[in-house]
Structure 1
């Protein structure tokens, strides 16, 4: 449980990290200054001890250019301005200052004084400077690494609830929710901050998903009986009526009722098949393609009455499919029905070609059958029946592939597995 919001904790973590790094850098620079001071004094005392009892004259003042050390005389004659100068080759530091308090009217030149500090033996050698540079670089790199590590640790601790929630959500399977999943995502474990709000939202979403799955299971378990029973009753009544002596008009009406009942039965089976999440292992059943194709043709043959259209079956192979036989039968019924419905009068034949790994249903949609055009892929639900969109969903559920190729003369429906 956290007392502060996630935003506040991140801000505090960042402030703590910056404060710790600032203190570390401040201590490091202070130590470097003190070390430099001590080092200069130690070198100067060491040089004095080496020349004891006579003391070295590192710091001296000069009024005349002629009394300056030889390396500085030529430079001093150029009348340098007041300031500090350094001569690295000679290890000398020079301060130039004016020594005139009053100017004589006849004196046009300014009198200069020189303070010379001989640092020979006090400043470190070049090799020692390089070692010190290496040491400082290593210290800076170490501090940077420690700072980075500290920042990572602090930020991880600050965002730990988010990572915990993300892991809990990643381990949940929405299709198979359990009581343990609800415990892992329980919002009371995350407090009242932003993470708690997110956890409560996810918890409510999972509850809605669970309720939806439960309703779906209840529907698929009960709707099958409730919807199929009236169809069965109607089918039985039709069969009894067919055995009666009916007039030609009554027979035509009974045929229409029979076809509508068959269509309703197929539609119910199709939607129930799509609604099921699980189907008791029927998705791994092995079945032959040709019997289902023949059955679909027989069921939809009435659509070709008075159209004078033939149906050619080109069985190039006898394939078997691994999957859901009812779903495959529904898909084939939809393809055959659409082909029969959209074929024009006397513009056949309708060709059904069965290959080893695909089924092709081709029908004519124009009277100009002699012209040849290259088929192009068309949306499965554009102008060729709503059932083709359902065929697409059935294929996706079973790992099959469906496509519709159309041009101005013909439509080719392709179902592959």
Structure 2
């Protein structure tokens, strides 16, 4: 190939690298700036909860606190993703322990509904990763499963190197399924249907890429969704 071709390729590669660097720096700067106001909101909400004279005052204060806490956790995830991956330097985290905590955290979402929530810790393993990112990826899948399942069951199971979240909800829209089926695609995932609220499947995919993991989806037999996070680098415990 001609030298002109290689010069053009190098220029294009440099342009892409510069774009990715700008995106990473912008994400990090914005996330850092959001930390302080969110801390103030959480502190003020805690005071309101502690000093609430009745349930009518306490309930909205608790909602404010939970919303600010969730936003702060999202900011932490964005800050971690804005940094270059250095997973080999991190201490191992127990994925099974994180999954168990996320299940208990969102169990209240199915309270009062004919939904059975089950956690099956069939395997114990660890990965070298920020615990916050691991929790965000698993927790977002669990939360969406709980929010969109009106009846039936939500099951979180562990296999060696895998976390499986399945539900009897409405499943994913066709557009979202097509996006997930595109191997190696970096396209965003629309936030609709079971892709739902919070971090969204697009960010879960980015977390999985950061952790050298993959996110697989398949329709559950009888209706619903089945997500599997597969960790390429894991250590049995």
Q: Bin the TM-score by the shorter chain.
A: 0.7 to 0.9
Name 2:34's counterpart in structure 1: 227
CA contact (8 A) 1:311 1:350 kept: yes
Name 2:112's counterpart in structure 1: 306
Q: Could you tell which deviates more after superposition, 244-253 or 319-328?
A: 319-328
Q: Secondary structure at the match of 1:360?
A: strand
Give the TM-score, by structure 2 length: 0.73
Pairs aligned (count): 210
- Structure 2: which 5+ residue stretches go unaligned? 171-175, 181-188, 232-237
**Which of 49, 65, 69 pairs up with 1:258?**
65
Q: Quick one: higher RCO (CA 8 Å, sep 6+), 1 or 2? A: 2
Give the TM-score, by structure 1 length: 0.44
Name 1:390's counterpart in structure 2: 203
Distance, in Å, in 2 between the alignment partners of 1:207 and 1:355 is 41
Deviation at 1:237, TM superposition (A): 1.5
Correspondences of 1:290-301 after superposition (within 5 Å): 290-301=96-107
Correspondences of 1:325-404 after superposition (within 5 Å): 325-344=131-150, 347-365=151-169, 378-379=177-178, 380=180, 381=189, 383-385=193-195, 387-404=200-217
The RMSD of aligned alpha carbons is: 3.0
Name 1:13's counterpart in structure 2: none
- Structure 1: which 5+ residue stretches go unaligned? 1-161, 173-201, 367-376
CA contact (8 A) 1:283 1:398 kept: no
Name 2:50's counterpart in structure 1: 243
Deviation at 1:168, TM superposition (A): 4.9
Q: Secondary structure at the match of 2:166?
A: strand
CA contact (8 A) 1:378 1:406 kept: no
CA distances 1:136-161 after superposition (whole Å, capped 9, x unpaired) = xxxxxxxxxxxxxxxxxxxxxxxxxx
- CA pair 378-239 structure 1, distance change in 2 beyond 3 A: same
